[in-house]
Structure 1
Amino acid sequence: MLTEDELALLEAIHESGSLSRAAVRLGKAPSTVSHAARQLEAKFDALLFDRRRYRLQLTPAGQLLTQEAGRLMQDVARMTRRVKQVAGGWEDRLWIVTDEVLEFETLLPVIQSFDKLDSGVSLRVTHEVLGGTWEALRDGRADVVVGATNEPPAIPKLQWIELGVMDWVFAVAPRHPLAKAAEPLERETVVRHRSVVVADSSRRPESRGYGLLGGQAVLAVPSMRAKIMAQREGLGVGWLPRQRVAGLLASGALVEKRMADPREPNTLYVAWRSDHMGRALTWWLEQFKQPRLAKRLVQGLGWPA
Structure 2
Amino acid sequence: MLSPNELALLEAIRDSGSLSRAAARLGKAPSSVSHAARQLEERFDALLFDRRRYRLQLTPAGQLLADEAGRLMQDVNRLTQRVQQVASGWEDRLHIVSDEILEFELMAPLIQAFDKLDSGVALRFTHEVLGGTWEALREGRADLIVGATNEPQTMPNLQWAELGAMEWLFAVSPNHPLAKMKTPLRQDQIQQHRAVVVADTARAAGARGYGRVGGQATLAVPSMRAKILAQRDGLGVGWVPRYRAASLLARGELVEKATETPREPNLLYLAWRGDHEGRALQWWLERLRQPQMAAALMRGVDGFR
How would you bin the TM-score normalised by the shorter chain?
over 0.9
C-alpha deviation, 1:250, in angstroms: 2.4
1:59 maps to which residue? 59
1:70 maps to which residue? 70
1:30 maps to which residue? 30
Q: Is the 8 A contact 1:194 1:219 kept in 2?
A: yes
Q: Is the 8 A contact 1:248 1:303 kept in 2?
A: no
User: For residues 238-257 of structure 1, what are the structure 2 equivalents within 5 Å?
Assistant: 238-257=238-257
C-alpha deviation, 1:124, in angstroms: 0.5
User: For residues 95-244 of structure 1, what are the structure 2 equivalents within 5 Å?
Assistant: 95-244=95-244
Are residues 1:80 and 2:80 paired? yes
1:50 maps to which residue? 50
2:281 maps to which residue? 281
Residues in 2 aligned to 1:127 and 1:16: alpha-carbon distance in whole angstroms: 51
* Number of positions where the alignment pairs a residue of Structure 1 with one of Structure 2: 305
Residues in 2 aligned to 1:51 and 1:75: alpha-carbon distance in whole angstroms: 31
Residues in 2 aligned to 1:27 and 1:21: alpha-carbon distance in whole angstroms: 10
SS for the counterpart of 1:165 is: strand
Residues in 2 aligned to 1:287 and 1:225: alpha-carbon distance in whole angstroms: 26
SS for the counterpart of 1:276 is: coil
SS for the counterpart of 1:24 is: helix
SS for the counterpart of 1:239 is: strand
- For structure 2, the residue ranges without an aligned partner over 5 or more in a row are none
* 1:185 aligned partner, one-letter code: L
Q: Is the 8 A contact 1:97 1:126 kept in 2?
A: yes
Q: Is the 8 A contact 1:246 1:303 kept in 2?
A: no
SS for the counterpart of 1:61 is: helix
Residues in 2 aligned to 1:117 and 1:14: alpha-carbon distance in whole angstroms: 37
% identity of equivalent residues? 70
C-alpha deviation, 1:204, in angstroms: 2.4
Deviating beyond 3 angstroms after TM superposition, the runs of 4 or more aligned structure 1 residues are none
- For structure 1, the residue ranges without an aligned partner over 5 or more in a row are none
C-alpha deviation, 1:247, in angstroms: 2.2
SS for the counterpart of 2:12 is: helix
Q: Is the 8 A contact 2:131 2:205 kept in 1?
A: no
Residues in 2 aligned to 1:205 and 1:70: alpha-carbon distance in whole angstroms: 48
SS for the counterpart of 1:159 is: strand
C-alpha deviation, 1:105, in angstroms: 0.7
Q: After superposition, what is the alpha-carbon deviation per residue over 1:91-127, rounded to whole angstroms, capped at 9, x for unaligned?
A: 0110000000001111111111111111111100001
2:91 maps to which residue? 91
Q: What RMSD, in angstroms, separates the aligned Cα atoms of the two structures?
A: 1.0
Residues in 2 aligned to 1:53 and 1:135: alpha-carbon distance in whole angstroms: 65
C-alpha deviation, 1:90, in angstroms: 0.6
* 1:294 aligned partner, one-letter code: A
* 2:255 aligned partner, one-letter code: V
C-alpha deviation, 1:203, in angstroms: 1.1
* 1:3 aligned partner, one-letter code: S
* 1:179 aligned partner, one-letter code: A
